[in-house]
Chains A and B, each alone.
Chain A
Amino acid sequence: SQQGEEDPQALSIQEGENATMNCSYKTSINNLQWYRQNSGRGLVHLILIRSNEREKHSGRLRVTLDTSKKSSSLLITASRAADTASYFCATDENRDDKIIFGKGTRLHILP
């Protein structure tokens, strides 16, 4: 099945720095979502951006969407140790009752 591709696969930054993760996908979408997963636990929804939106903010999170390039980015500002997790983008590319997850970016915040 089609998936988004996150980039980078892994990212380590110092606490307080900003972290940027990218996601690319293959076909047209209605929306794109970002989820966070702490080690071995359930996923937590972070933000949903619709295809007619270009940017969305939620607290320290900023998501952009470029439908012409079929890509999205997630920016976490002023990172904290608690932000250490895997981050997945997910798209509704097939327009049925499912979303397709990308391979994820493992983010590690160094103290």
Chain B
Amino acid sequence: DTEVTQTPKHLVMGMTNKKSLKCEQHMGHRAMYWYKQKAKKPPELMFVYSYEKLSINESVPSRFSPECPNSSLLNLHLHALQPEDSALYLCASSPGSEETQYFGPGTRLLVL
């Protein structure tokens, strides 16, 4: 299995909702990442997990809460989001740091 999967593909939520984005990889990669991407912009790093521990938090607001239950799974819990949080959320994994990253197809999030 050489792919990163993300669910759901699309998500619409209100500002008071709580939802979660899920990411899974079975390539034995030790690093996993969450990115946020706005239209016509590059991906912006949000969080990095290395060996299931949070190693980088790029000053992301607390309404985004990452979780790494095991080496194959990465979640992003969403609560009280704002309309400006609407974006494509991409998950990626890599064998190690500074190496090729394998991206999932993304979750397109719309916050109303």
A103 touches B41 (CB 8 A): yes
Q: For chain B, which range describes its interface: under 10, 10 to 19, 20 to 34, or 35 or more residues?
A: 20 to 34
A43 touches B103 (CB 8 A): yes
Cβ of A15 within 8 Å of any chain B Cβ, yes or no, is no
Cβ of B61 within 8 Å of any chain A Cβ, yes or no, is no
B102 touches A45 (CB 8 A): yes
A101 touches B102 (CB 8 A): no
Main SS class of interface, A: loop
Interface size on A, residues (CB 8 A): 26
In the complex formed, the residue of A with least CB distance to B105 is A42
Q: Which of A31, A98, A103 has the most CB of B within 10 A?
A: A98
B42 touches A97 (CB 8 A): no
In the complex formed, the residue of B with least CB distance to A46 is B100
B42 touches A95 (CB 8 A): no
Given A3-B42, A40-B88, A43-B90, check contact A99 B108 (CB 8 Å).
no
Residues of A within 8 A of B58 (CB): 1
B103 touches A98 (CB 8 A): no
B98 touches A92 (CB 8 A): yes
Cβ of B31 within 8 Å of any chain A Cβ, yes or no, is yes
- Distance from B39 Cβ to chain A, minimum over Cβ atoms (Å): 8
- Distance from A28 Cβ to chain B, minimum over Cβ atoms (Å): 13
B45 touches A98 (CB 8 A): yes
A41 touches B98 (CB 8 A): no
Chain A 87-110 per-residue mask, 1 if CB under 8 angstroms from chain B, else 0: 010001001111111111010000
Residue pairs across A and B with Cβ atoms less than 8 A apart, 12 shown, are A33-B101, A35-B103, A41-B105, A45-B102, A48-B99, A92-B98, A96-B55, A97-B56, A98-B56, A98-B97, A101-B42, A103-B42
**4 nearest interchain CB pairs?**
A101-B42, A42-B103, A92-B98, A97-B97
- Which residues of A approach B to under 8 Å, CB–CB? 1, 3, 30-31, 33, 35, 40-45, 48, 88, 92, 95-104, 106
